Amino acid sequence: MQLRHTICGIVRAVMVENMLGIKQLPENTYDVMASYRNDVKRWGAFPFPELLNFMPSLRQKRDVYRAFSKGILEQEFEKLVEVLHSDPQPGNTNLIAASVVSLFKDENPTLSNEELLSALRSLSSEDIRKYFENPIVQSLPMILKAADNLTDAIVLCLEQIASDPDKFAMLRDEMDRSYLIIEEGIDIRTLKSLPLLDAFYKESVRFDAPVAVPRYTQNGYSSDSMTIPPNTMMIFDLHALAKGEQYWTNPKEFDPTRFLQKDIEQVAEEGGMSSNNKNHTVGQFPFIPFSVGLRNCPAFAVTESLFKVMIAKFVADYQLQLVKKDEDDSTLHITSRDKSLGLMQ
């Protein structure tokens, strides 16, 4: 199995269908996104035109993405009209409809729920088009970029456990002891209660953290050493927080045990995985892979859930062997643990 290509397809399909209601993406989605995913990961630059002035190649990739995402949304317009005209709860259908409903409510704050539903059903296609063209709605395919980042974390984790029998055995043992059946309808809260799986999730997103995230300062800031005027763009080095030796012991080593609350040596004895991270400090800072505050990544919740479901499924039901690792992708040999389960067969 070509690991990244396969995982990315699964993640994108799940995210865009569940969040946007889009059931079919264009065949060239992977190629278009792969052409600039590393730049997007390196710089959260798309909302910041100033950065694009210094990076023409990134500006060109942004324009390609905009045209591509507009095409994806356009195929959903007729479905949006149908939802607004017939669905009894259009705001709960998907993010596209919910965004249009929210924009309409902002313009008509005094309408009751019944009046709102009636007003939405009376909108013409031309009226709906105006809301559909709003930048908020047009930016929704950014979920595809979130899928790319999630894919990187999942692929990293699978590469690690497929190449290290001790890591794989630790997770497999936790899955078996939990008696979880990874299928549709699983309680995500149960997955979140598994400490080893949670540790592998946190270490994967730490290890795969973006280099930098730009932010604007709404208010000024002054101290003895610096003055930052209002409306100043600042770039935060998240990579330094995720990999800094002043924050982490052996930061370049993929070691999920650093996030476990129980005694590190006990974990190593139980699972056979060595750990040299006895002196690290775990807390909200510096572990902020999704940033913090009002501008933090809105996909953090779905990212955690999808990551844990996919890793749990692979570990519980399959045998994994890393065949080779290339710069662009890795090849994984997968065999079903139980021949009655055939996700990849």
Q: Which helix (H) or strand (E) holds 332?
A: strand 330-336
CA nearest 83: which of 94, 74, 72?
A: 94
Question: Is 8 annotated to bind ligand?
Answer: no
User: Do 73 and 136 touch, CB atoms closer than 8 A?
Assistant: no
Q: 3-state SS of 255-310?
A: CHHHHCCCCHHHHHHHHCCCCCCCCCCCCCCCCCCCCCCCCCCCCHHHHHHHHHHH
Asked if residues 97 and 83 have their Cβ atoms less than 8 Å apart, the reply is: yes
Query: By three-state DSSP, how is residue 29 classified?
Result: helix
Reading the block at residue 43, the tokens are: 């710089």
Query: What are the C-alpha distances in Å from 237 to residues 179, 212, 289, 295?
Result: 41, 5, 11, 16
Write out the binding residues for heme. 297
Write out the binding residues. 297
